[in-house]
Amino acid sequence: MYGWLWRRLPGNAAVRAAIMLVLFVAVVYVLFQWVFPRLEPLLPFGEETVQNGGATPTGAPSPQPTGSPVLNGLARIPLERAAR
């Protein structure tokens, strides 16, 4: 599409680039002034999917690591011992 438009525009490359820039700005302006405001009521941006602001309920325990000091079948080495 852009190649077709580029071939149809008059002038040299600088004039064509300027015309393409003006056309791009005009399309963006039309979209933001008329198209997007008319489509906005149809879009679900006002619907909330997170309850209670996303916070955990009061008093809920935070997840704690459990189990033995074995990770993927290999024993974890404490940092003090590894530094020696």
Give 7-33 pLDDT, tens digit per residue: 999 999 999 999 999 999 999 999 999
Model pTM score: 0.52
Q: State how far Cα 52 lies from the chain centre.
A: 23
> Between 22 and 80, where is the model more confident?
22
Residue 63 pairs in a beta bridge with none
Q: What does the alpha-carbon distance between residue 28 and residue 64 come to, in Å, rounded to a whole number?
A: 51
Calculate the dihedral angle through the C-alpha atoms of 17, 10, 28, 38, rounding to the nearest 10 degrees: -170
The 10s digit of each residue's pLDDT in 30-73 is 999 999 999 988 887 777 776 665 555 555 655 555 555 555 55
- 74: enclosing H helix or E strand: strand 74-75
User: Is the pLDDT at 80 greater than 90, yes or no?
Assistant: no
Domain extents in the chain: 1-43
